[in-house]
């Protein structure tokens, strides 16, 4: 006789940002999917390596892929945040909506389907008016949006830098990730990550990406998930149950 299923399970999604940005980031994401606990990734469609990332994703059907909306990147330098690049004016609702929809169409051409979830580079989708625009699109598609709604809790503390780029080496360790996993609440939680190899990433977060790969692929982390009886799932598992999916 098999034991009854847990009526209140703990479910974990491990999602990598920046998929498609550089060859090294693609390699890190793929390693963590094939050898570690990664289940999902968010694709940056504007970068040249997005095609290679999409090709892999189309063939690795188990990998859930969402859209990582890219409206720009900022770095903390000389005591202030400075733009490294800007895609559009983020306080212009019309420009933002046009750009996000264009990235959505590019995603569809590359992947051949809608994204399984939405989030954004440097969490710009939490800013007004981007939040409303992305919220409307996510609702129309019937897919989750990071940190919008109560259905999926987001944990971003598996990250090796502070708010101003200061190194937090104790955050990207097997011990810290195990602590996060052991403390997961009932329901569904997304743990964000930024794996990469080759140190070819732009911006401030470079060396830490290799450390993330090592941790996400460590057997002790997988063993902790098993010991805690946590269900390791992807965003696709949630979208498949959504009866309200539509089109944009």
82: left (phi over 0), alpha (psi -120 to 50) or beta: beta
Residue 1: what pLDDT? 41
Residue 244: what pLDDT? 52
Q: For the domain bounded by 21-239, which CATH number is listed?
A: 3.20.20.370
Residue 180: what pLDDT? 98
Residue 247: what pLDDT? 74
Measure the CA–CA gap between 206 and 226, rounded to whole angstroms. 30
- Separation in Å, CA 166 to CA 162, 169, 191, 204, 205: 5, 9, 21, 10, 10
Measure the CA–CA gap between 113 and 105, rounded to whole angstroms. 10
Question: Mean pLDDT, 10 residues at a time, over the chain (248 residues)?
Answer: 65 98 98 98 98 97 96 89 92 97 98 98 96 97 93 97 90 98 98 98 94 98 98 90 61
Q: What is the model's pTM?
A: 0.94
| Residue 228 contacts residue 182 (beta carbons within 8 Å) | yes
Measure the CA–CA gap between 247 and 126, rounded to whole angstroms. 22
Residue 5: what pLDDT? 55
Residue at token pair 């996510």: 138
């Amino acid at each position: 006789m098999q034991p009854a299923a847990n009526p209140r399970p703990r479910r974990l999604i491990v999602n990598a940002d920046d998929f498609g940005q550089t060859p090294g980031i693609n390699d890190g994401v793929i390693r963590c999917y094939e050898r570690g606990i990664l289940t999902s990734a968010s694709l940056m469609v504007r970068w040249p390596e997005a095609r290679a990332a999409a090709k892999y994703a189309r063939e690795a059907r188990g990998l859930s892929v969402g859209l990582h909306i890219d409206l720009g990147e900022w770095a903390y330098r000389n005591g202030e945040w400075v733009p490294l690049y800007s895609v559009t004016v983020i306080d212009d609702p019309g420009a933002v909506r046009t750009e996000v929809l264009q990235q959505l169409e590019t995603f569809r051409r590359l992947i051949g389907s809608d994204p399984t979830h939405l989030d954004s580079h440097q969490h710009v989708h939490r800013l007004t008016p981007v939040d409303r625009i992305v919220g409307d699109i996510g609702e129309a598609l019937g897919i989750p949006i990071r940190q919008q709604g109560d259905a999926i809790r987001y944990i971003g503390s598996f990250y090796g830098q502070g708010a101003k780029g200061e190194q937090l080496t104790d955050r990207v360790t097997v011990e810290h990730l195990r602590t996060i996993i052991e403390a997961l609440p009932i329901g569904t939680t997304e743990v964000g990550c930024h794996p990469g190899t080759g140190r070819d990433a732009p911006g401030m977060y470079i060396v830490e990406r290799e450390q993330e790969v090592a941790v996400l692929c460590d057997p002790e982390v997988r063993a902790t998930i098993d010991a805690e009886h946590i269900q390791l799932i992807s965003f696709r598992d949630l979208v498949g149950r959504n009866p309200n999916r539509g089109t944009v």
